[in-house]
Chains A and B, each alone.
Chain A
Amino acid sequence: MSVFQIDFGRPQSSRVVGIDLGTTNSLVAYMDASAPKVIADADGERILPSVVSYAGDGRIVVGREALGRLITDPENTVYSVKRLMGRGGADVADELKLFPFRVAGDSESVIRLQLGDRSLTPPEISARILRQLRQNAEAALGEPVNRAVVTVPAYFNDAQRQATKDAGRIAGLEVLRLVNEPTAAALAYGLDKRNQGIVAVYDFGGGTFDISILKLQAGIFEVLATNGDTHLGGDDIDNLLLRIALEDIENEWGDDLSGHPGAVQLLRRSVIKAKEELSYATRTRIEFAYGGKQYQRELTRALFDQLITPIVERTLAPCRDCLADAGVPVEEIDEVVLVGGSTRIPLVRTAVETLFRARPHTELNPDEVVALGAAVQGAILAGDVEDQLLLDVTPLSLGIETMGGVVSKLIPRNSTIPASATEHFTTAVDGQTNVLIHVVQGERELVKDCRSLARFDLKGIEPMPAGLARIEVRFLIDANGILSVSAKDLRTGKTQEVEVKPSYGLTDNQVEAMIRDSIEMAEDDFMDRQVREARVEADSILHAVEKAKASEAYRRITNRERDRIEDAINQLTLAYHGDDHLLIRAKIDELNNVTMHLAETMMNSAVSNALKGTKI
C-alpha cells in the first residue's frame, strides 16, 4: 500500500503535538519541559470552534470567524462534522435533517456535503480544522509541526478511526497515533503517580459519549473495558431544546422557522446559552428575536433536568455494561474522572456520583483535559516520557461473515491492542480461484446487525478440487484500533494480495487525490495572496506616479522619459488585471526604474523649494 508523503521541504521536527479533534471544539497542546500545555492562537484563544465555512469568494474560514457565518451563511458552514466521520448517507439521514447543509448526490459509502460549487467529504472538512490547529501551533512554537497524536472517541469503529487518520494526512500531518479520548484524559490527570487503582473515565462531549475503566499500576495505564455511544452528546440536548423552542414559536407566531437555516442557527445559539447558564443558575430564559418578533421562555433547572433525564440515562447503560466487561464490581472503583463539556451539567454529575459511588475529579478543565493527555502521549512517542505506557483496547468485536449471514467472532471486544487473529479458508467448489471475505464489527450474531467494515477477495488461488486450498488470513488491529489484513497460501507459502475495499470510507487513492487537491488549493490560496499583495503594491506606485504627473518636475523631464513612463504605466495596468504576480512585480520594477529620474527631479525641486523659503 502506498503512503503519500507530503514534503513541504521543511525540516522534520521531533516534536509531536497532541490534538483533540472535537465535535464542538478542537484544541492543540504540547509537552512543555514539565507539563502539557494548551497552545493558544494569535488572539490568545485556547479553543478553536470546530466550524468550517466555505465562503462564496473561495475563502475558507475556520473557528470563531466561521462561527459567525453559521448565522449569515448556514448552507455553506459546517459544524459537528465529527458526527459524519466514517459514516454512510443512510446512517445519518435523520440527523442530516437538522443540519442546514446539503448532501451531495453520491453519498452512500462516504457522505459528501455540497458547499458552494464544491462537494467535500467529512475528512476533508476536518482537515481544515487540523490545518488551522497546526498553523496555530507552528506560530506559537516557532517551528514546523508535522507529527501529531489525535484523539478519537473510544467507541469509534474502524471506519471512523480511518476517517480521522485520513483527515490528518490531508492536513499534512503524520498522525503517529490515534488515542482514545477517555484514556488520554486519564493520562493528563497523571493519576498513576498518586496511587495504583481502578479509575472510571466518564466522557460526555458535544457529540459522543464514552466510558472507560482503567487499571493503573506503576505507570501502566491498562484499559480493562470501554463502552459508549458515538451518537450521544450535548448536541442531542441542544436539538431537544431547539425542537421545543421551534414548536413554541410556531404556536406563538404561526411561523414554522425550521425551513430558515439562519434563524435555526440563531435559535440554536440561544438554547445553548440557556443550557450553559443552567449549569450555574437554577433558572434562566431562552431569548430569541427574529424578523422583528420576540420569543422568550423561562426554563428552570428542574424542568431542564426532567427534559434531559432520558439522554443522561442513555449514558448509564453503557457504564454498567463496561463495569461488567471489566469484571470490576462498582465498589472497587477508586476514582472517577469527568471529561467533556456536558459533564458540567449538574444532573450529569449527580448521575455519575450515584452510579460509581465516588466523588468525581474535576480539577482539570473538562474541555482541555483530552488535548493535554494527547500531548503527554505525543511525548511518550517522541521518547521524552519513558515511565508511562498506555495499553488500550478495541471497543468492538471483529468478525467475519459465515454461512447464513452469521458472524464468526475473531477478536472479542475489549481485547488489548495490538491484537490479531488467524483464520484458515478453503474453496467450496472445484476449480474455485477466489474467496470473498466480509469483515464486520459489532456484538450481534447476525451480519445484518453489525457494522460492515470491508470486503476483500483472496485472488489467484490455483484451481484445484474443492476443500484442498489452504489460505491463512491474518487480521491485525494495530495500536490505533485500525484493521489490516494479510493472507498466505499455505500450499505455496506465497503471500497473497489482499485488496480491501472499505464499506464506509475513502480508498487510499481517494485520500491521495485529496492530498494533491489540498496542496494545489493551498498553492492556489498562496498564489491568490501573492497576486493580491502585488496589486496592492501596484496601486500605490500607480497612484504616486499619477500624482507626480501633475507636478512641475514632470514638465521638466524629457519627452522621451515621459513616453517611457506612459509605456510602463500601460504595461503595469495590463499585468495588473492578469493573475501573474511575478509579471506584476516585474512591471512595478520597470515603472520604478523609468520614474527614477522623475523622482530625483521632484526631490530636488522639493529641496530647493524648501530652501527658498528658509534662511540659512
Chain B
Amino acid sequence: MDLFCKFCNSLQKPLLDYYKFFGIERKLGLDPTDLQQRFYKLSRLLHPDRYMRRTNREQEYSLEATAILNDAYRTLRDPVARAEYLLKQNGFENDEPRSKNVDPDLLEEVFELNMALEELRSGDDSARPQLEVARDKFTGMRSEMDRDLQDLFEEYDSTQSVEVLQRIRVLLDRRRYIQNLVAEVDRELAG
C-alpha cells in the first residue's frame, strides 16, 4: 500500500481506484467479511479523527482519503454497484434509456401494470390485488436476476472475458428496469 510515505510515514494523496485502495483483486465476487475487516482497518488508519494534531496537508489528505474509502466501500459491498463500477472502468456506460434490453413480452405486462397503477392513483382500490400480484412477480424476477448475476460474476472472475461483461451489462439494464417498477408499485401501495 502506498497510503503513507515510505520515508517520513506522512499520509499521501489518496489513490482513486477502489480495488487498489482496498488492496484486493479486481473480481466481481467478493467476501463481504474480508471487505468489512479491510474497511475497518483502513478507517483506523485514515479517519480525520486521527489527524487532528497533524499538519494541514495531512488533514486534507485524510479527509480526501476517507471520503474515497467510504465511497469505495459503499460501492464494492453492494453487488450491483460493484458491477456497475467495474463495467464503467471497462468502458461500458450506463446512461442508456430505461427500457433498453427489455423483452417485448415484459413491456406488454408493464403496460397493464401502468394501467392498474393509474386506477389506484385515481382512487380505485380494486386495482390493489392486481398490483400486489404484480409486485410479487417482479420481486421474484429480481431475485432470479440476482442469482444469474452471481453466476455471471463467477464466470467473469474465472475468464476475465469482455463478452461476459456485455452480458452483465444487459442483465443490469433489465434489473434496473424491474427495480424501478418494484419501487414504484411499493410506493403506490404504501400510499
Question: A residues bordering B, Cβ < 8 Å?
Answer: 176-177, 217-218, 220, 222, 377, 380-383, 389-391, 412, 415-421, 476-479
Contact A389 B71 (CB under 8 A): no
Contact B48 A418 (CB under 8 A): yes
Which of the segments B4-12, B39-47, B83-91, B114-122 contacts the partner chain?
A: B39-47
Contact A220 B52 (CB under 8 A): no
Contact A420 B44 (CB under 8 A): no
Q: Mark B31-67, 1 if CB is under 8 A from A, else 0.
A: 0000000001001100111101100000000010011
Indicate whether B70 reaches chain A with its CB closer than 8 angstroms.
yes
Chain A residues within 8 Å of B50, by CB: 389
Alpha-carbon distance between A177 and B43 when the two chains are bound, in angstroms? 17
Alpha-carbon distance between A478 and B66 when the two chains are bound, in angstroms? 9
Given A217-B40, A389-B44, A476-B63: A419 in contact with B49 (beta carbons within 8 A)? no
Given A381-B49, A390-B49, A478-B63: A416 in contact with B40 (beta carbons within 8 A)? no
Chain B, residue nearest A416 (CB)? B70
Further pairs besides A377-B49, A382-B53, A420-B67: 15, Cβ < 8 Å: A217-B40, A220-B44, A222-B40, A383-B53, A415-B70, A416-B73, A416-B74, A417-B70, A418-B67, A420-B68, A420-B71, A421-B71, A476-B63, A477-B67, A479-B66
Chain B residues within 8 Å of A419, by CB: 67, 70-71, 74
Alpha-carbon distance between A150 and B43 when the two chains are bound, in angstroms? 22
Alpha-carbon distance between A478 and B49 when the two chains are bound, in angstroms? 11
Cross-chain contact of B52 among A381, A416, A477, A478 (Cβ < 8 A): A381
Chain A residues within 8 Å of B49, by CB: 177, 377, 380-381, 389-390, 479
Chain A residues within 8 Å of B73, by CB: 416
A187 to chain B, nearest CB (A): 12
B125 to chain A, nearest CB (A): 22
A-B contact pairs, 29 of them (CB 8 A): A217-B40, A220-B43, A220-B44, A222-B40, A377-B49, A381-B49, A389-B43, A389-B49, A390-B49, A391-B43, A391-B47, A412-B74, A415-B70, A415-B74, A417-B70, A418-B48, A418-B66, A418-B67, A419-B67, A419-B71, A420-B67, A420-B68, A420-B71, A476-B67, A477-B67, A478-B48, A479-B48, A479-B49, A479-B66
Alpha-carbon distance between A290 and B20 when the two chains are bound, in angstroms? 73
Contact B70 A389 (CB under 8 A): no
Chain A, residue nearest B65 (CB)? A418
Contact B70 A383 (CB under 8 A): no
Chain A residues within 8 Å of B44, by CB: 220, 389
Chain B residues within 8 Å of A478, by CB: 48, 63
Chain A residues within 8 Å of B43, by CB: 220, 389, 391
Contact A383 B52 (CB under 8 A): yes
Chain B residues within 8 Å of A391, by CB: 43, 47
Alpha-carbon distance between A412 and B70 when the two chains are bound, in angstroms? 12
Alpha-carbon distance between A389 and B48 when the two chains are bound, in angstroms? 10
Alpha-carbon distance between A191 and B53 when the two chains are bound, in angstroms? 27
Question: B residues bordering A, Cβ < 8 Å?
Answer: 40, 43-44, 47-50, 52-53, 63, 66-68, 70-71, 73-74
Chain B, residue nearest A420 (CB)? B67
Chain B, residue nearest A414 (CB)? B74
Chain B, residue nearest A215 (CB)? B36
Alpha-carbon distance between A60 and B50 when the two chains are bound, in angstroms? 39
Given A217-B40, A220-B43, A416-B74: A382 in contact with B66 (beta carbons within 8 A)? no
B43 to chain A, nearest CB (A): 6
A379 to chain B, nearest CB (A): 11
Chain A, residue nearest B16 (CB)? A422
Alpha-carbon distance between A477 and B71 when the two chains are bound, in angstroms? 11
Alpha-carbon distance between A415 and B69 when the two chains are bound, in angstroms? 12
Alpha-carbon distance between A391 and B36 when the two chains are bound, in angstroms? 13
Chain A residues within 8 Å of B47, by CB: 389, 391, 479
Chain A residues within 8 Å of B52, by CB: 176, 381-383
Chain A, residue nearest B47 (CB)? A389
Alpha-carbon distance between A476 and B14 when the two chains are bound, in angstroms? 15
Closest 3 CB pairs of A and B: A418-B67, A420-B67, A416-B70
A178 to chain B, nearest CB (A): 12
Chain B, residue nearest A387 (CB)? B44
Chain B residues within 8 Å of A177, by CB: 49
B119 to chain A, nearest CB (A): 21
Contact A418 B70 (CB under 8 A): yes
Most buried by B among A220, A222, A380, A417: A220
Chain B, residue nearest A415 (CB)? B74
Alpha-carbon distance between A380 and B43 when the two chains are bound, in angstroms? 14
Chain B, residue nearest A388 (CB)? B49
Chain A residues within 8 Å of B48, by CB: 418, 478-479
Chain A residues within 8 Å of B70, by CB: 415-419
Alpha-carbon distance between A382 and B43 when the two chains are bound, in angstroms? 18
A473 to chain B, nearest CB (A): 14
Chain B residues within 8 Å of A418, by CB: 48, 63, 66-67, 70
Contact B67 A220 (CB under 8 A): no
Alpha-carbon distance between A332 and B52 when the two chains are bound, in angstroms? 35
Chain A, residue nearest B66 (CB)? A418
Alpha-carbon distance between A402 and B63 when the two chains are bound, in angstroms? 28
B105 to chain A, nearest CB (A): 28
Chain A residues within 8 Å of B74, by CB: 412, 415-416, 419
Alpha-carbon distance between A217 and B53 when the two chains are bound, in angstroms? 26
B39 to chain A, nearest CB (A): 9
Cross-chain contact of B63 among A217, A222, A381, A479 (Cβ < 8 A): A479
Alpha-carbon distance between A464 and B58 when the two chains are bound, in angstroms? 38
Chain B residues within 8 Å of A416, by CB: 70, 73-74
Chain B residues within 8 Å of A377, by CB: 49
B180 to chain A, nearest CB (A): 12
Chain B residues within 8 Å of A421, by CB: 71
Alpha-carbon distance between A176 and B59 when the two chains are bound, in angstroms? 12
Chain A residues within 8 Å of B53, by CB: 382-383
Alpha-carbon distance between A204 and B107 when the two chains are bound, in angstroms? 48
A234 to chain B, nearest CB (A): 30
